[in-house]
């Protein structure tokens, strides 16, 4: 794989995922991630299975799943199945949960639960025996309902060999999750925006955590999610990117306090996003949460403007120590004609220039 991987975000809709994956591979992307949010999209594992059979090269990942809606054995079994079907192209992207949990009336999972989940899902993916949870009251077997002698641990007995282990890619924003990801993940994808200072801070935090844990910082792949619209008209670019910028930037203030280096003006914008956020209009342009964005905030948090400027920004982010960037293009609800034009600038000018 190239040292500078460019990934894209795809729709997991059952009638769209095949075409989306074929298009992404033809456009030269190295990977595609499918969101795991049952309230607003199709199943990402179905999407990846379909994508595996219509592509030959592109990597396939969840972008991202969470520890609540899928038991670690179920998530591991699903992504290991994709690994086998795709010939080793699967990645398990995971975070603490956002829209998938919000549409169930739930908050992101606590850090301790996330840590236990990561340890368990890694065990399943290695083929290890994983200590089973204590059954909930009413779920314990009785003599009359016993299913036989239970094994001391749970494992994926069918896990194929010698398939390479599926890498676990942890989406991380704050220092505590970055620390956890550096210790228990195989990859980290930062959700801190596209500002160089913030990327350097996140990279330094991850590398320090690896060293403190006695692990080699150079052995972990580091990436980031970046909102991008390449368009010669900066005002149009800002409009097109605005909806999804609110999604990705909100992680930095989701729990009340902002994380990482930020100007006072940008801290205020983040608090305004948090206070005005309407999950029923998640990702969309022209919303109340998008209206609080300032030009300076968009220009710092996202990569927008003429293609040559976008290339320079992305090159600078790679130079901060990243080897992978997941590009989130535009926003649902934005002008479709201008979105199509911006997509052409992205795949015809920006992506080739980074090769």
Gap between the Cα atoms of 16 and 331, Å rounded? 17
**Residue 324 has what pLDDT?**
98
3 state DSSP class of 236: helix
**Residue 134 has what pLDDT?**
66
* Residue 144 reports pLDDT greater than 50: no
Query: What are the two backbone dihedrals, phi and then psi, of residue 162, each rounded to the nearest 5 degrees?
Result: -100, 45
**Residue 107 has what pLDDT?**
84
Confidence of residue 256 (pLDDT cuts 50, 70, 90): confident
pLDDT tens profile 317-328: 999 999 999 999
The pTM assigned to this predicted structure is 0.93
* Joined tokens for residue 99: 């829209």
Gap between the Cα atoms of 308 and 256, Å rounded? 36
pLDDT tens profile 271-316: 999 999 998 898 899 999 999 999 999 999 999 999 999 999 999 9
DSSP state of 65: B
pLDDT tens profile 74-85: 999 999 999 999
* Residue 67 reports pLDDT greater than 80: yes
Rg of the chain on CA atoms, in Å: 20
**Residue 77 has what pLDDT?**
97
* Residue 125 reports pLDDT greater than 70: yes
């Amino acid at each position: 794989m190239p040292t500078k991987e460019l990934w894209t975000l795809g729709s997991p809709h059952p009638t769209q995922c095949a075409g989306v994956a074929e298009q992404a591979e033809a456009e030269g992307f190295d990977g595609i991630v499918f969101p795991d949010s049952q309230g607003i999209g199709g199943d990402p594992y179905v999407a990846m299975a379909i994508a595996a059979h219509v592509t030959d090269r592109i990597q396939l990942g969840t972008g991202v799943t969470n520890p609540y809606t899928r038991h670690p054995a179920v998530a591991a079994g699903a992504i290991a199945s994709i690994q086998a079907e795709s010939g080793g192209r699967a990645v398990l992207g995971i975070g603490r949960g956002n829209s998938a949990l919000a549409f169930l009336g739930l908050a992101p999972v606590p850090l301790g639960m996330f840590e236990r989940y990561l340890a368990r899902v890694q065990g399943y993916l290695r083929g290890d025996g994983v200590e089973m949870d204590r059954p909930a009251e009413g779920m314990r077997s009785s003599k009359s309902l016993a299913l036989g002698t239970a094994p001391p641990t749970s494992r994926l007995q069918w896990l194929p060999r010698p398939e390479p282990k599926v890498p676990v890619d942890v989406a991380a924003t704050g220092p505590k999750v970055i620390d956890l990801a550096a210790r228990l993940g195989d990859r980290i994808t930062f959700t801190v925006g596209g500002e160089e200072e913030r990327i350097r801070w996140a990279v330094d935090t991850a590398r320090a955590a690896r060293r403190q844990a006695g692990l080699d910082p150079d052995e972990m792949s580091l990436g980031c999610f970046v909102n991008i619209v390449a368009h010669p008209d900066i005002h149009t670019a800002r409009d097109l990117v605005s909806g999804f910028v609110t999604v990705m930037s909100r992680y930095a203030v989701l729990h009340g306090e902002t994380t990482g280096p930020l100007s006072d003006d940008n801290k205020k914008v983040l608090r305004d996003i948090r206070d005005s956020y309407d999950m029923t209009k998640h990702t969309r342009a022209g919303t109340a949460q998008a209206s609080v964005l300032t030009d300076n905030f968009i220009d710092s948090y996202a990569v927008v403007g003429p293609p040559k400027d976008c290339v320079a920004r992305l090159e600078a982010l790679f130079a901060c120590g990243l080897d992978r960037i997941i590009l989130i293009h535009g926003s649902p609800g934005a002008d479709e004609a201008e979105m199509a034009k911006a997509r052409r600038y992205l795949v015809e000018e920006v992506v080739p220039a980074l090769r």
